[in-house]
Every structure is written in structure tokens, then in C-alpha cells.
Amino acid sequence: MEETEMLEIKNLHAQLEEDPDVKILNGVNLTVEAGKVHAIMGPNGSGKSTLAYVLSGREGYEVTEGSVSLLGEDILEMEPEERAAAGMFLAFQYPVEIPGVGNMTFLRTAVNAQRKARGQEEMSSTEFLKAVRDKAKTLKIEPEMLKRPVNTGFSGGEKKRNEILQMAMLEPKMCILDETDSGLDVDAMKLVADGVNALRDANRGFLVITHYQRLLNHIVPDVVHIMSQGRIVKTGGAELALEVEENGYADILAEAK
Amino acid sequence: MALRREVLLKARQEAASARLDALTLPAGGGWITRAREDALTRLRAMGLPTRRDEYWKFTDPAALVAPATDSAELLGEDPDGTVFDTIDRLKIVFVDGEFDADASDDLAAEGLEITRLAEAARHDLHWARDAYGLLEAEGQAPVERPLAALNTAFATDGVLIRATGKVSRPVALHYLRKDGNADAMVHHCIKLEPGSEMTLLESGAAAARFSQVLEVDVGDGARFNHVRTQGRDHERVSNSNLFARVGEGGVLKSFTLSANGALTRNEAFITLNGRDGVAHIAGAALGDGAFHHDDTVFITHAAPACESRQVYKKVLRGGATGVFQGKILVKQPAQLTDGYQISQALLLGGDDSQFLAKPELEIYADDVKCSHGSTTGEIDPEQLFYLRSRGMPEEEASALLVLAFVAEAIEEIENPDLAEDVRTHLAGWLDRHRG
Ligand SMILES: Nc1ncnc2c1ncn2[C@@H]1O[C@H](COP(=O)(O)OP(=O)(O)O)[C@@H](O)[C@H]1O
Ligand SMILES: [Mg+2]
């Protein structure tokens, strides 16, 4: 069976808009096929979050070279909301608190905005409520948390589970998870991993950014990339993550030079 | 110093005599005429405010003081429908400041005595005779409020309401506008007997220039809820004065939504007179361009263990100006006072709008908890990106963040249906003012 390219990143270079001397991405090449889970590992500061932000359209970065396509469509000129409607989703490393906006209102507005952008009908409120409740339950998210303002006063683990709930509700095609495991205890990590695994299917791609190997015991990747100084310096199978776990990055990075 | 005061007073008195030349005391007779004459005496002594008055440092009172008013274009029907239309209420309609009996409901309700001000003299209302202009007069110190005295003297219409029971159906004052030049003054006087409850709603375009005084005496254990939306005609100017006294265990909650209007000055002077009294006053104001909105609040804690909250939110765009002057005065007997004050502005689309805030605390008791804060900010780009990354178009995301910004003020509305109605109107306004 022929593989569909979900996300194709070619020779991507990006620097800070306000300081062009800070060149963060220096030629990233990466292709995620539909149905596959790719992991990116790498030391702190190697550019993993920046890659995630550039892919989702955050302001503040200037792409100087290269291209990114989602299901064959060039997305670099799209607004963040257009990318979302096209199927892009980023689970933030640091989910943003929004006091004054209820989590439910937020979820419903997001779901319906994407539907509208795709020319679909809005979800009825009963349909929506049922979907949220079911999904929240599997993520062990208390109904009370849905009533609170978005991420406001949530613990680290609650914030990360809330990201996965959004992902489950929005049903994106391309899911990027930026250090969704950081700050989670083993039980919380397992919940998050189960949430991700439940969404794995042939028509969806994943890019799981992590600093540690342990998440990858639960979300077993098809491909592992090592990132350093804004480039992918090594690519391998799931065993590459174990190698990092045992020996650290030093050997791999030395070898790459 | 003394010389400067004399010069200022002379300027004020000149402003007053120019205005008074254009006015005649309304006919009435009896006690109401005496109350008006007393107010006129107060006014003559104070004069009318000028820009040089400390209390008017941030807001030029000229348009409120001038002998004649400019006309203000009528916007017509609110595209969202009239606010409070879905609320079961006793409706009292004023057209250009004049009571309209045909458009109003029957002024009879269990637990309430409602009398039209213009007819007050013909009725021997003992309670009103002792109340009309009284709280206004008491509210002239420590800071003078001459526009309120002017109103007490010359207001031709309004309602006198005495609540004797717990009334759940709100009384709604709706101010229609027909005349482009209408220069209206209304004065309402409300007395809540001990243990009584009522809700007052206000809405409508009102007038090109609208002056309003609302005196509220909240008896021991009584509850007064007040939700108001102000005229949204762009060119209209208005000043309002709320004077309230809250008795032991009494509760007063007042919320005002203002969208548009060239000039709005809303003053509130509230005194907590009995132990365990509560006063919450809140406002949300939104405007662009030639929008000048001023909330000036003075809350006095005169008795122990009272709670007061002032929550003001202003959304300003395209050169609009927001003003907040808020004071909490805690007198020596008012131990265990709990006072909170917050005023915040959200500047949209660049920094050409401004927010001028003067929060003040004056405390003479030693065991009190008082906090105040004031901030000016813009939409947080991190929050905006987060919402957009979930698929919300920028304008929709911004509108959601603006609603979130004013949420704390709207939450001061106790009744959820009224809060929802206000929220819907706000959302409608934001919808039409995108970009
Ligand atoms: N907005 C920014 N301002 C200054 N430096 C930045 C900014 N964003 C990223 N960087 C720098 O770019 C590098 C990569 O950061 P980041 O993408 O967060 O790495 P990672 O997620 O792999 O830890 C770091 O050196 C970081 O300091
Ligand atoms: Mg990172």
C-alpha cells in the first residue's frame, strides 16, 4: 500500500523576527506519513519547540528557506486558524491560561470554528456535551474542570490532559505533542499516552517531541529523530530512543559531526 | 491658595448662572418645590464644575454644564433587540425624559408603591417628602457634586418607589429617545424598607444630553439590585449620580454597561451605615474614537464589618478615553472592613487610547482589609495564538478575550438571566465593532 505524506518539511530554516542573528532552525528535513508516529528527541535548546511553533504558525519567527506541506498543501502562508482547520494541532509544552473563558465555551467555540471553516454544520449542543463528557471521562478529567476557565489554576498534569482532550475533540490529522510528558507522574503519563494511542489510526500522523525516552515506552514510535542545533542529525527506529536513554546524546552528536 | 479658590469658585458660579438663565424651576408646589429650592440654593453656593476642578481633572464637564446641548444623531433600534426584552418585568417608559403612561405598564405591583415624580406634589408621600434630595444633599461632602444638585432642582420627571416586601419581578425603566435635541433630566428616589428586596433595570437611548440622579435608601436587611445599560447613540452625553445609603445587613449591587456615547460620567456615592452591610458596584464600558467614559466612585465605610467591591473594566479603541476615580474611605468605627477595588483597561488596536485612573484609600480604622489595583493592557498575544491554534479566527478569538476581560464585572450581576442578557448584548456590540 502506498503511504500518504501527511507532513512534509523540507530544508526548513527559521530565525527570530526581532533578532535575525538568532537562527534556530537550520535546515530541517522530515516527513511524517499518515498512520505513523514520529518522535523527535534532542537536548534542551535544540529547536524542538520552535519547530512546533513554526509549524503551527506562531508569530515571531521568520522562515528564510524551505517549505512545509500538510497533505500536499503548502501551509507556511496560512494563518494559525487556517492550519488548524486544515488539520494541524499542537499540544503546547506550556498550555496557556485564559482566565474568564470557560473551558467548555473554549472547546465548543474551537470545534465549531473549525467546522465552519470546513463548510460543515455546527455541532449541536447535546452532541457536543456528550462527546466532551465521554472523552473527558477516559482522560479522568473531572466535570468540574470543564467548568473552570481554560487552564486557569490547573495543575501541570491537568493542563496536559486538557491538551489531549482538545486534541480528541478537534480530531486533527496531524498531531504535534511538545513535551506532553514533562512534569507528569507515571500515572498521569499513562493517561496521556492512552489518550494519544486511542487516536492513532491510518489517517493521522503524530510528531511526539520529548526530552525523555520514557513516554516512548507508552507511545511506541515508528521513527525516532534526534535534533541538534536546529537540524535532524540522526534518524532511526524505536531502538534509537533506548540508545539515547542509555548513553545520552553525547555519542550521537559527536558521531553526527 | 485662597485666591485660586476664589477664582475657581467665581468661574463655577458664572457657569451656573449661565445655565440657570436658561432654566425655570418646574411647577409643583408643596414639599417638592421646597426640596427644589433647597437644591437650587446648594447649587448657587457651589457653582457648576469646570475643567479646572480637581474632581474633573480627567473629564471636561463643558458639554454637561453648557446652557444648551448639541443635538446627537439617533442610532435607531438596537439590532440585538432591546436589552431585557426577554425578562419578565414591570416596564416604565420615558420618552425624551418624560413619563409615557400609554407605553408603560400599570404602576401597581405587590410590595411596591410607585409614583411618578411629576405627580409627587399632588400626593402626600410622607416617605418621599423626607427623602427627595436628601441623599444628594448629604453626598455633597467631602466632594461637591453640583450637577446632581442641578438635577434635584430641575428634574421634571422620574419615579418614587417604596419597597415594602420582597419583590422578584424587576422594575424596568426604559428611556426612549424621539427628539434629536432632547436635553433631559430625570430623578428617581427609592426607599427599601427593612427586609424588602427589589431589582431596578435601566436601559435605552434616553436623550442627546441626559442627566440622572438615583437616590437609594437600603434599609436594614434589605436588598437592592440594579442593572443598567446606557444609551448607545454615539454623540450623546450623559452624567449620572447614584447616591446610596445601606443599613445594617443591607445589600446593594449595581452594574452598568456602557457602549458608545461621546461623554459619560457615572458617579456613585455610597455609604455603608450599618454593621454587615454590602455594596458592590461594577461597570463595563466599551467604545472607540470620540468615546470618553468616566466612572467616579466614592464608598464610605461608616460602620463595622461591611464589605465593598468596585469592579470596573473598560475596553478602549481608536483614541477612546477611559477614566476611573475610585475611593474607599474607612471611618474610625468601621473595623473589620473588607474593601476591594479593581479598575482595568484593555486597549485594542494600538496605543492611541488612554486610561486615566486615580484609585484612593483613606483609612482611619486599624483592623481592615483593603486592596486596590489598576492596570492597563492589551490583548495577550500568547492567549490569542493559543485560541487561533485551536481554529478560531483572529477576530473571534479577540472577541472571546474581550468578553473574558469584562467577565469579572458582569459576574457582579446576581441574577444569571440578567447577566446572560447583558453578555449577549456585549457580544453583539463586539460583533459589529470588529476590525
Ligand atoms: N522567542 C525567543 N527569543 C529568544 N530566543 C529564543 C526564542 N525562541 C527560541 N529561542 C532560542 O532558540 C533555541 C531553541 O529553543 P527551543 O525551540 O525552545 O528549544 P527546545 O524546545 O528544543 O528546548 C534556544 O537557544 C532558545 O533560547
Ligand atoms: Mg521545548
- In this prediction, residues B129-141 reach a mean pLDDT of 95
Q: What is the pLDDT of residue A251?
A: 84
- Establish if A166 touches chain B: CB-CB under 8 angstroms: yes
Render pLDDT for B225-279 as a digit per residue (tens, 0 to 9).
999 999 888 899 999 999 999 999 999 999 999 988 999 999 999 999 999 999 9
Out of A92, A100, A166, the one facing B404 most closely (by C-beta) is: A100
Residue of A nearest to B388 (CA): A81
Instruction: For chain A, give every domain's residue range.
Output: 5-97+152-256
Question: Which is nearest to B295 in space by CA: B321, B333, B274?
Answer: B321
Render pLDDT for B207-216 as a digit per residue (tens, 0 to 9).
999 999 999 9
Name, in order, each residue with C-beta under 8 angstroms of A247's C-beta and a sequence gap of 6 or more.
none
> Which ligand does the CA of A41 lie closest to?
1
* Closest ligand 1 atom number to CA of residue A47: 17
- Rounded CA Rg of chain A: 18
Range of the domain at B341: 2-378
The verdict on residue B57 lying in a domain is yes
Out of B386, B403, B408, the one facing A96 most closely (by C-beta) is: B386
Residue of A nearest to B406 (CA): A100
The mean predicted confidence, pLDDT, of chain B is: 94
* Touching A: B residues 334-393, CB under 8 Å: 381-383, 385-393
The mean predicted confidence, pLDDT, of chain A is: 94
Q: Is A45 in the pocket of ligand 1 (CB under 6 A)?
A: yes
Residue of B nearest to A90 (CA): B389
CA distance B433 to B315: 12
HEC secondary structure over chain A: CCCCEEEEEEEEEEEECCCCCCEEEEEEEEEEECCCEEEEECCCCCCHHHHHHHHHCCCCEEEEEEEEEECCEECCCCCHHHHHHHCEEEECCCCCCEEEEEHHHHHHHHHHHHHHHCCCCCCCHHHHHHHHHHHHHHCCCCHHHHHCEECCCCCHHHHHHHHHHHHHHHCCCEEEEECCCCCCCHHHHHHHHHHHHHHCCCCCEEEEECCCCCHHHHCCCCEEEEEECCEEEEEECCHHHHHHHHHCCHHHHHHHC
Residue B1 has pLDDT above 70, yes or no: no
Cβ–Cβ below 8 Å for B389 and A80? yes
- ipTM tops 0.90: yes
| Residues on chain B touching A105 (C-beta within 8 angstroms) | 400
Q: What is the pLDDT of residue A1?
A: 47
Q: What is the pLDDT of residue A2?
A: 58
- Establish if B401 touches chain A: CB-CB under 8 angstroms: yes
| Residues on chain A touching B392 (C-beta within 8 angstroms) | 81, 109-110, 113
User: Under a CB-based contact definition with an 8 Å cutoff, are residues A52 and A16 in contact?
Assistant: no
The verdict on residue B358 lying in a domain is yes
Cβ–Cβ below 8 Å for B389 and A101? no
Give Cα separations from A78 to A6, A10, A13 (angstroms): 17, 17, 17
* Closest ligand 1 atom number to CA of residue A227: 22
Out of B381, B391, B403, the one facing A81 most closely (by C-beta) is: B391
Render pLDDT for B367-422 as a digit per residue (tens, 0 to 9).
999 999 999 999 999 999 999 999 999 999 999 999 999 999 999 999 999 999 99
In chain B, the number of structural domains is 1
Q: Is A49 in the pocket of ligand 1 (CB under 6 A)?
A: yes
Instruction: Tell me the shortest Cα–Cα distance from B258 to chain A, in angstroms.
Output: 20
Among the residue ranges B117-131, B136-150, B169-183, the one predicted with the least confidence is B117-131
The verdict on residue B409 lying in a domain is no
Give Cα separations from B23 to B19, B29, B136, B151 (angstroms): 7, 17, 20, 11
Render pLDDT for B181-196 as a digit per residue (tens, 0 to 9).
999 999 999 999 999 9
CATH class of this structure's domain A5-97+152-256: alpha beta
User: Under a CB-based contact definition with an 8 Å cutoff, are residues B312 and B410 in contact?
Assistant: no
